[in-house]
Amino acid sequence: MTATRVLVLNSGSSSVKYQLLDMRDSSRLAVGLVERIGEESSRLKHTPLNDGGASRERTESIADHAAALQAVAEELAKDGLGLDSPELAAIGHRVVHGGQSFTEPTVVNDAVLAEIERLIPVAPLHNPANLTGIRTARALRPDLPQVAVFDTAFHTTMPESAARYAIDVETADTHRIRRYGFHGTSHAYVSRATAELLGRSPEDVNVIVLHLGNGASASAVRGGECVDTSMGLTPLEGLVMGTRSGDMDPAVIFHLMRVGGMSTDEIDTLLNKKSGLIGLCGDNDMREIRRRIDEGDERAKLAFDIYIHRLKKYIGAYYAVLGRVDAIAFTAGVGENSAPVRKAAVAGLEQLGLAVDDELNAVRSDEPRLISPAGARVAVAVVPTDEELEIATQTYALVEA
């Protein structure tokens, strides 16, 4: 029997998200989530999709990632999808930071684990949890290939002119300070899917990808390769996000320390968790913000306007970086669902060949689709992202090779 299943694991500090896919047809066999790991009332939600079974929930104390994965394995086994099955080909892990070391998906061995560990200083929140996930999965199935798929990998093609900050080179190199970019798996998937939607090969197409979720980033992709992206050393740089400020004068930080008397941790929390849309208006869900705007709420309107202003600046900047743009692709929670954001982002850019057709923009669908008027110079598209499928595809391609 050929092994055609891939388990995709996305391990956070207190959660594990998973999907089991069959790579013969890229179908999902099961999806689920373990939350509040290490707390009294952890929760596991498991949905088998192979034979139309209903979702199951477990609420119990799940002490650590090992216990979480064990619980996931038990649930999968109930549906005949156990992790001991010979049909399982590999486990693909989302790893947030691969630094400059990892430009491609990589089969995990001890040296790879050591390198991911070495990168913890540049990804203190994410890499430790990702490592725990890999180590746990390895202990469970030591014989199985484990593949690390890095959020930063797609951006390693950025030229030095885009990847370097204009700071003292030695200081930057000592501390590995440069622009790495994140959401790479999504930018890779969406830029390819956009070329496909246009019926062209990725090598022939220049795309601006706008990944607008709770975290948000833009990228400029020339002929399938990333040439610039809006996130930097960490995911804090760039667009206005749900709870992150995005771009700002770095001197704001000195000011908050010197004049505001704030500590490093307090400022970190302020900029990462209490800024962006939530800091501006108290809500980070675009649906709620639109509802408030419809009721005449001025704060919500200002938050929306600041969000759109920044987005437009990046569209203009990446237009200039690429020189020729074939398509702009909106993706992730806001990009896929918010017609007002898409309309406002390209409003007034007709001179750049950009426009949205209101009727097409209003269509709700899970499929990639064009929303620009027929004959437009630049295609404007909505392209749902699928990071799990991309991780599974890259993982399977590597173990099949």
Instruction: Give me the active site residues, please.
Output: 151
Bridging pattern class, strands 225-229 and 146-150: unpaired
242 forms part of the interface with ligand ADP (CB under 6 A)? yes
Run of H or E residues at 106: strand 106-107
Where is the binding site, in residues?
A: 10, 17, 94, 211-215, 285-287, 333-337, 387
Q: What minimum distance in Å lies between the beta carbon of 244 and ligand ADP?
A: 11
- Using the contact rule CB under 6 A, the part of the chain among 1-9, 64-72, 253-261, 326-334 near ligand ADP is 326-334
> Least distance from C-beta 264 to ligand ADP, angstroms?
25
Q: Is 15 in the site for ligand ADP (CB under 6 A)?
A: no
Pairing of strands 146-150, 216-222: unpaired
Q: Is residue 184 involved in binding ligand ADP (CB under 6 A)?
A: no
Q: CB under 6 A: which stretch of 91-99, 202-210, 293-301, 327-335 binds ligand ADP? A: 327-335
Closest CB to ligand ADP among residues 11, 338: 338
For position 332 contacting ligand ADP by CB under 6 A, the verdict is: yes
Q: Closest approach of Cβ 118 to ligand ADP, in Å?
A: 27
Decide: is 98 part of the binding site for ligand ADP (CB under 6 A): no
Under the criterion CB under 6 A, does residue 210 sit at the interface with ligand ADP?
no
Indicate whether 22 belongs to the interface with ligand ADP (CB under 6 A).
Answer: no
**Among 151-159, 202-210, 258-266, 331-339, which window interacts with ligand ADP (CB under 6 A)?**
331-339
The CB-side HSE value for 374 (13 A sphere, CA atoms) comes to: 0
12 touches ligand ADP (CB under 6 A) = no
Region of residue 203 (left: phi > 0; alpha: psi -120 to 50; beta: else): alpha
Residues 271-290 that bind ligand ADP (CB under 6 A): 284-287
Cα 56 to Cα 68, 203, 302, 304, 334: the distances in Å are 15, 44, 42, 38, 28
Q: How far is the CB of 338 from ligand ADP (least distance, A)?
A: 4
Binding residues among 338-367 for ligand ADP as defined by CB under 6 A: 338
Helices (H), 243-297: 251-258, 264-273, 276-281, 286-294
C-beta of 190 vs 197, nearer to ligand ADP: 190
Number of residues that bind ligand ADP (CB under 6 A): 13
Cα gap 22→392, rounded to integer Å:
9
Residue facing ligand ADP at closest CB distance:
333
- Shortest distance (Å) from residue 80 CB to ligand ADP: 30
CA 3 to chain centre: 28
Q: Cα separation of 319 and 98, whole Å?
A: 28
What contacts 273, CB < 8 A, 6 or more positions away?
Answer: 243, 244
Using the rule CB under 6 A, is 246 a contact of ligand ADP? no
Q: Which is closer to ligand ADP, CB of 286 or CB of 345?
A: 286
CA-CA distance, 382 to 332, in Å (whole number)? 9
Alpha-carbon distance 249 to 265, whole Å? 18
**Tokens 């900029």 belong to residue:** 271
Helix axes 286-294, 298-322, angle to 10 degrees: 120
First vs last Cα of the chain: how many Å apart? Answer: 17
Interaction between residue 215 and ligand ADP (CB under 6 A): yes
Q: Which stretch binds ligand ADP (CB under 6 A): 64-72, 85-93, 291-299, 328-336?
A: 328-336
What is the 8-class DSSP label of residue 206? E
The annotated binding site for ATP is made up of 17, 211-215, 285-287, 333-337
Based on CB atoms, which residue is closest to ligand ADP, 133 or 335? 335
Contact range with ligand ADP by CB under 6 A, out of 72-80, 200-208, 309-317, 329-337: 329-337
* Dihedral sign for Cα atoms in the order 177, 178, 183, 189: negative
Q: What letter represents residue 211's amino acid?
A: H
Phi, psi of 182 (to 5 degrees): -135, -175
Q: Which residues bind ligand ADP (CB under 6 A)?
A: 213-215, 242, 284-287, 332-334, 337-338
